[in-house]
Amino acid sequence: MEFKQEELVEREREIAGYLLKDFSLKMFSKKTGLSLKHLAAHISNMRIKLKAKDTYELIKLLKVRKSRKMKKLPIGMSFRST
């Protein structure tokens, strides 16, 4: 399945907000009633869409997006070292 880089669905944006607030998945699961497996699937989709190699990099990318108040990341933006 291929995703456009900038398209996060509403639930993914909600999860991103909790990730940025350092909520654990268990805490978020209890708040929303979503299973841990369901949350993991959303986070995996977010990693694919934002081309993050792991959850740590995903959070770094989300922080950049938030600090720039952008809805889209520039194409090719990455924290990976070359």
- 58 CB-contact burial (10 Å; exposed 0-12 / middle 13-18 / buried 19+): buried
> Does the residue 81 lie in any domain?
no
> Does the residue 1 lie in any domain?
no
Residues 1-28: tens digit of each pLDDT: 444 546 788 889 889 988 998 888 888 8
Residues 65-74: tens digit of each pLDDT: 777 764 554 5
pTM: 0.70
So what's the pLDDT on residue 43?
A: 93
Residues 21-69: tens digit of each pLDDT: 888 888 888 888 899 999 999 999 999 999 999 999 999 999 887 777 6
The answer to whether the beta carbons of residues 50 and 5 sit under 8 Å apart is yes
Between CA 11 and CA 31 the distance in angstroms is: 13
Looking at residue 26, which CATH number applies to its domain? 1.10.10
Between CA 55 and CA 53 the distance in angstroms is: 7
> Does the residue 60 lie in any domain?
yes
So what's the pLDDT on residue 75?
A: 52
